[in-house]
Amino acid sequence: MTLRAVSVTSPVSAEQVVIGHDILSLISSAMYVEPMIIYRELIQNAADAIDDAISTGVLKSNQGRVELQIDPLHRQVVLRDNGIGVTNDDFIQTMCAIGSSPKRGTKARGFRGIGRLVGLGYAQELVLRSRSRSDERVMEAVWDARTLRDLLRSRHRAPLDEVVASVVKITSRDATKDEPAHFFEAELRKIVRLADDRLLNAPAVERYLSEVAPVPFHPEFSQGAAITQFLKSHGPYPLLDVRVNGAKTPLARPYRDAVPITASKIARISDFEKIDIPAYDDGGRIAAVAWVAKHEYFGAVPRRLGVRGVRARVGNLQIGDERAFAEAFPEERFSDWAIGEVHVYDERITPNGRRDAFEPSLHLSNLVGHLQVTGREVGRSARYSSVERRMERGLLSVQTALREYTRLLKTSPEAYALRDELFADVIAEMDKARRRLIGSDRQRWESEIAALEKQMEKAKSVKVKHGKHIRERARGRVDVLKALRTEIPGGLSIATALLKVLPNSD
């Protein structure tokens, strides 16, 4: 007789589910390993609050403002927006909620309900204040981040709600004269000291926010107005007035007409390509639009400029970094040569929790697939530019060698004895240059090579007479020089060797 196992399925009761306080550690520090993300998350919440204020008529479309005060002396940061604010009635529940946001399913940028808490991992106290237009009083929540970290390190595993209740204090007070009728403010007190202390480095914070925040293009970027018009014609294009430490001028995106690739190579943005990307299920719906700058492609754009790569933006807020769409290029390194942005409108293309990339989906794959056309064009332009620069360097070295060889032939019998091999090096370099002509401006380079060949024939025709004793000595040293030549990499570097070992005259 065979006994058969019988499985019994029993439901899980709510009392059996335990959400431990370690979840706070994940969302306040472990999830955000880059400290600067604090500012992006706070700006994101500010942008959503300002959008709500505009949509409800509390603000006009150009009145959204964010003020950031960075105080290194007292190690604190205060960020205030003039958005719709949180009502007194909703304040406690909103400020104490973990991973619960009324924004989910809306057009808001943030919808996971954790962004406001990101500062807990980098400060001893996080203070949240707010007031809506319908309220007389200001509500304040103080999160004791230091006590929270002690609790997270303890062996006692308290439920999440008990931990939050023990580290948060709520107060209510009359508004001061400095506080507007509606606002939200986040204050980080006693910020931890990092190795480079960049959280309190105002210029570094300005550079970061100029890249990621929904701020306008810089006045020195002549294509900015046309790009702005292009983006506005496809959907919402929110812009904020963001100022750091009371600056007279607001932050602006770092794009400029001139892009210094190296000290001697400055690329110029002369125009831009417009790209409409249809949704995966098409139906006339646009998933995203992109603009990609046209320039000379002198090389990879330096990271310090803050404009490298085709960057992703949702709600005009940057997602990830300069390599957000590197996979759309034939070689990932070519993404560093490109300059542009992709503005995503399809809510099915969703940023991940850290907002450093997008969640995988067919809709994302469709977007990347359409960008590959532009990626291939950038790759071709980069290769073409590389060929042009190699040609310039190669022919310049030939020209320099011809000049040096002509001088050596007149002054050194040893060089004269090696003249056939010297000119063989020059011929080899010019043949190599001709092989690089595929895909470049053949007519221009052919004419330059032909001019160099005429110079070479002229140099070869030089006749030099040396005394008999000098010729005898030269024959004894030619073999040594030939041996030296074999040890030097690169055909034309024999000129350098000869300059070192041969006398200028005899």
Q: Where are the domains of the chain?
A: 18-209, 258-382, 385-501
Helix (H, G, I), strand (E, B) or coil at 148: helix
How far apart CA 38 and CA 100 sit, in angstroms, is 19
Contact 110, 101 (CB under 8 A): yes
Q: So what's the pLDDT on residue 505? A: 41
Q: So what's the pLDDT on residue 492? A: 47
Q: So what's the pLDDT on residue 367? A: 96
Q: Which two tokens stand for residue 101?
A: 């946001």
The hierarchical CATH code for the domain 258-382 is 3.30.230
The CATH class for the domain spanning 18-209 reads alpha beta
How far apart CA 106 and CA 113 sit, in angstroms, is 13
Q: So what's the pLDDT on residue 337? A: 95
Per-residue model confidence as pLDDT tens digits over 375-410: 999 998 888 787 777 777 777 877 777 777 777 777
Contact 309, 324 (CB under 8 A): yes
| Residue 418 buriedness (CB in 10 A; 0-12 / 13-18 / 19+) | buried
Q: So what's the pLDDT on residue 415? A: 67
pTM: 0.77
Q: So what's the pLDDT on residue 101? A: 53
H or E element at residue 51: helix 37-55
The residues pairing with 144 across neighbouring beta strands, listed in sequence order, are 125
Q: Find all residues with CB under 8 Å of 357, minimum gap 6, and list them.
A: 319, 320, 324, 351
Q: So what's the pLDDT on residue 126? A: 93
Q: So what's the pLDDT on residue 53? A: 94
Contact 206, 244 (CB under 8 A): yes
Q: So what's the pLDDT on residue 506? A: 43
Per-residue model confidence as pLDDT tens digits over 188-213: 999 988 878 999 999 999 999 999 99
Per-run averaged pLDDT (10 residues), the chain, 506 residues:
59 55 56 79 93 93 94 95 94 80 53 68 91 93 87 73 85 89 95 88 96 96 96 92 96 96 92 94 87 93 96 95 94 94 94 88 95 93 79 78 75 68 74 67 75 80 66 59 52 52 48
Q: So what's the pLDDT on residue 205? A: 96
Identify which of 39, 34, 33 has the alpha carbon closest to the alpha carbon of residue 251. Answer: 39
Bridge-based pairing state of the strands 137-144 and 168-174 = antiparallel
DSSP designation for 367: H
The residues pairing with 188 across neighbouring beta strands, listed in sequence order, are 77, 126
For 332, list phi and psi in degrees, rounded to 5: -60, -30
